Amino acid sequence: MPAAGGTTHNLAWSRMHESPAAGADETPRAIARRIGKRFRRRLHGGYARSKLRMDPAFAAATRQLGGTAMPVLDIGCGLGLLGFYLREHGYAGDYFGLDLDAAKITAAQEVADAHYRGLSFRVGDARALTGFAGHVVMLDVLHYLERDDQRALLDAAARCVAPGGLLVIRNVLREPGWRFRATVAEEGFIHLVRWLGSPPCHYPDRAEIQAPLEAAGLACTVEPLWGRTPFNSYLIVGRRAATGAGSAGT
């Protein structure tokens, strides 16, 4: 991971050095299948395929990051699906994935080494985030941390957002209603089947995410990201002004 304020990345979004071969099937289903087939373990491949097909988070994050060449730090990257999805959609900048789960990081790095250049994965704890400058993404990670650790991570992640960069968060928000209850039930199930090592710790509400981002000088938008799922997921985007105005903490 480059140090904050370090390397400038000038790779153009349009430099599609990992673009699929001409004539390749480019439907969302075909892209999900192609990424899934690249995992050595069938469990990972099947998970990747269905996750990429069903979950609107990858397309939403790609829409936000589209057109820029800034490096991307994906905190709690899991199997690295966002990195592969970004490459499949023409993002040619550097991508760094960080996750606690060594098995997932190994699987992600294997796929990257064989198929996608410029993607690096590292085992690490988001609570000890080191320097970085660029876009930062966190898809479904925050609620695995305790409330105070969430606040510290949001502060640290916001400091990593470069001028003109984004902090893109997809997370369940604590709210009254059946969607939130359905999400809590699903989280209990995936912990039970041991797909995720740690259980959810604290479900943040909207203000718990938005306030630290705004305090760090990011302009925030919050919108539902339900797709065809029953889950209470939201897309929260913090944007740092390109001029450097409002870049407190960087």
Residues forming the site for ligand SAM (CB under 6 A): 76-78, 81, 98-101, 104, 125-127, 139-141, 144-145, 196, 198
Provide the minimum distance between the beta carbon of 213 and ligand SAM in the complex, in angstroms, as a whole number: 18
* Separation in Å, CA 88 to CA 76, 92, 147: 20, 9, 35
Provide the minimum distance between the beta carbon of 28 and ligand SAM in the complex, in angstroms, as a whole number: 16
User: CB-wise, 58 or 217, nearer to ligand SAM?
Assistant: 58
User: CB-wise, 35 or 218, nearer to ligand SAM?
Assistant: 35
Provide the minimum distance between the beta carbon of 111 and ligand SAM in the complex, in angstroms, as a whole number: 13
User: CB-wise, 184 or 196, nearer to ligand SAM?
Assistant: 196
Report d(CA 138, CA 142) in Å as an integer.
Answer: 8
Residue whose C-beta lies closest to ligand SAM: 78
Provide the minimum distance between the beta carbon of 95 and ligand SAM in the complex, in angstroms, as a whole number: 13
* Separation in Å, CA 12 to CA 17, 93, 185: 10, 7, 42
Provide the minimum distance between the beta carbon of 115 and ligand SAM in the complex, in angstroms, as a whole number: 17
User: CB-wise, 15 or 115, nearer to ligand SAM?
Assistant: 115
User: CB-wise, 8 or 198, nearer to ligand SAM?
Assistant: 198
Report d(CA 194, CA 188) in Å as an integer.
Answer: 10
Contact 213, 238 (CB under 8 A): yes
User: CB-wise, 141 or 158, nearer to ligand SAM?
Assistant: 141
Report d(CA 58, CA 54) in Å as an integer.
Answer: 10
User: In this structure, is the dihedral angle defined by the CA atoms of residues 196, 74, 118 and 23, taken in order, positive or negative?
Assistant: positive
Contact 184, 199 (CB under 8 A): no
Provide the minimum distance between the beta carbon of 105 and ligand SAM in the complex, in angstroms, as a whole number: 9
Q: Which residues contact 4 (CB under 8 A, 6 or more apart)?
A: 131, 132, 133, 159, 160, 250
